[in-house]
Amino acid sequence: MTAELATENTALLDAPNVVRELTDRFGDQCQYQETVDGIPNVWINRNQITEVLQYLKHDAQDSFELMFDLSAIDERHRKFRADQPPSDFTVFYHLMSLSSDQDLRIKVPLRDEDSSVASVESIYPVANWYEREAFDMFGIQFEGHPNLRRILTPPLWEGHPLRKEHPARATEMDPFALPDEVQDAQQEALRFVPEEWGMSRSTKHTDFMFLNLGPNHPSVHGVFRIALQLDGEVIVQAVPDIGYHHRGQEKMAERQSWHTYIPYTDRIDYLGGVMNNFPYVMNVEKMAGIEVPPRAQVIRVMVSEMFRIASHLLFYGTFAQDVGQMSPVFYMFADRERLFSIVEAITGGRMHPSWFRIGGVCDDLPDGWYEMVTDFCDYMPARMDHYDTMALQNKILKNRTVGIGAYNTAEGLDWGITGPSLRATGHDWDLRKNRPYSSYDQFDFEIPTAVNGDCYDRCVVRVEEIRQSLRIIRQCADNMPEGPYKADHPLTTPPSKEFTMQHIETLIHHFLNVSWGPVIPPSESATLVEATKGWTSFYSISDGGTMAYRSRVRTPSFPALQQIPFISNGFMVPDLIAIIASIDFVMADVDR
């Protein structure tokens, strides 16, 4: 395989520094690949992965401190692979260097008969769960992984869902049956054995108690389970267990047209609404080469920021509720309701409007939108001040959350924490400022940060973000550009109606894009946005079809849950509840 990889190394001259650095150091075993998102891809041999990542994290000129994503691609049915090295399965590592603001994608080609690669969990702790997910979904073996078990599917699941041969629909499978012996075996496999979770039953002096918190528990925000090893009420070990909300979003992306997948994205972070459409449609536009008109860009920003406020309000309310304060959540739900009435006026939907389209947004803004939006911007700041006195400045709430579940910036990056939870440690990296997309560079707003990175700070940062989002929304309303709300591009889906009615060419496109779905040229691209809970990215691969060949959804909640043991061991059960409340996750965003 070494020989296969060491083919031509062209185009290296205009490759970024880090690629040249890698080829210099690791010889011509590296191969460079360009993608439309501008992220350099470097193919390396599988036995070099630990060495390369070790180098990139610690010794490279620009240190790549964050492993943003890790997953795999089943390449066996892919037609357009250009000059990529032969591979049945490709494991990719999306690394980020925040200090020098650059991305790097490392790819490792694997053969079907021997799909194993060394685990990098010791270099990037966040890789632990991502490798388990890749094992679960593709059956890739990560050698040296401490706990390579299934993570999203049940323990007795047959096959690996994201492999191309695994059926995607019930109609492709035999009718479902659950004989008694299968059910018994399934249940037996779920039996809690502390040793399997890395827990000991007792020490010389104490017997531990095991508490199963969730998947149905008032404070776990959905179907999330934590197995606790308790000494009295003190947590000796907490082991999170996920997968109860897994719906195969990535598999569905391979069965839906580029256009009809948009409603599915809404349901990933179901509190984020159109915020999830955002990275997806921007990514498809990048692959299709669509330039989105300014009005559509600003409308997108405005509605997304409304959803940021809605999501943060829900976080704020439940945060106060989980530390025992009963009332704020009701006030905040009422405010959220006002927001949803505006969203409803604009989009026709409430929580899941699915309103962004490839090339723009679904429709123009309705009459009277300006008054509605500015009324809300006038109304909200006073409410926020009121909540400050009620919740944030409350002494009991402070006692419960200050100094609980703290981590610093380096630890946050190690565990893949992004967004507000990372800014709570004092790291002021915000994609909207540092890599402005969709006209964010034209708005005047600040990036709130905090210092200690504890539960309280995570809440403070989000509360301040609500105020900043209000500023952005007002600027959007006051400076809304005129012009079309959809791009004039053949792949815009569906194309603007007025053109279709006059223009046979557009009518044909309309017909094709609606009946088949748009055909996106073969390409690979990833797009990141600052979503409500952190950075969400879509990494899609088109093989020149009407559907994605592979669509990777990277969500901020997944790594955040992995970090829970690290920040909660040694605290008490009520502290764990405060920590869970401060993370701001939804299970659909974790399991996808």
Which residues make up the interface to other proteins (CB under 8 A)?
209, 211-212, 217-219, 233, 320-327, 330-331, 334, 390-391, 394, 396-397, 399-400, 572-575, 577
What are the phi and psi torsion angles at 432 (to 5°)?
A: -65, -30
Tokens 């009701």 sit on residue: 330
236's tokens: 């000796």
200's tokens: 């000991």
Closest CA to 357 of 496, 534, 511, 476: 496
Residue 522 CB coordination number (10 Å): 17
Whether the Cβ atoms of residue 299 and residue 489 lie closer than 8 Å to each other: no
Helix, strand, coil percentages in the chain from 3-state DSSP, rounded to 5:
40, 15, 40
Residue 370 CB coordination number (10 Å): 12
Whether the Cβ atoms of residue 269 and residue 531 lie closer than 8 Å to each other: yes
Cβ neighbors of 419 (< 8 A, separation 6 or more) are 530, 531, 533, 534, 535, 556
Rounded to an integer, what is the distance from CA 412 to the centroid of its chain?
Answer: 16
Whether the Cβ atoms of residue 465 and residue 421 lie closer than 8 Å to each other: no
DSSP string, 284-347: HHHHHTPPPPHHHHHHHHHHHHHHHHHHHHHHHHHHHHHTT--SHHHHHHHHHHHHHHHHHHHH
In single-letter form, the type of residue at position 111 comes to: R
Task: Identify which of residues 192 and 370 has a Cβ nearer to other proteins in the complex.
Answer: 192
What's the rounded Cα separation, in Å, for the pair 588 and 222? 9
Sign of CA dihedral 58, 144, 241, 247: positive
What's the rounded Cα separation, in Å, for the pair 320 and 323? 5
Beta bridge partners, 536, equal 529
H/E stretch holding 447 reads none
Cβ neighbors of 531 (< 8 A, separation 6 or more) are 269, 272, 275, 276, 278, 279, 419, 555, 556
Whether the Cβ atoms of residue 438 and residue 292 lie closer than 8 Å to each other: yes
Q: Residue 583 to residues 139, 275, 279, 580: CA-CA distances in angstroms?
A: 30, 18, 22, 5
Whether the Cβ atoms of residue 571 and residue 397 lie closer than 8 Å to each other: no
What are the phi and psi torsion angles at 459 (to 5°)?
A: -75, -45
H/E stretch holding 139 reads none
Whether the Cβ atoms of residue 152 and residue 239 lie closer than 8 Å to each other: no
405's tokens: 């579940």
What's the rounded Cα separation, in Å, for the pair 356 and 346? 12
- Phi-psi category of residue 198: left, alpha or beta, with phi > 0 → left and psi -120 to 50 → alpha: left
What's the rounded Cα separation, in Å, for the pair 349 and 347? 5
Helix-helix angle 274-288:294-322, to 10 degrees: 150
**Would you call 528 helix, strand, or coil by DSSP?**
strand
Closest CA to 532 of 465, 446, 437: 465
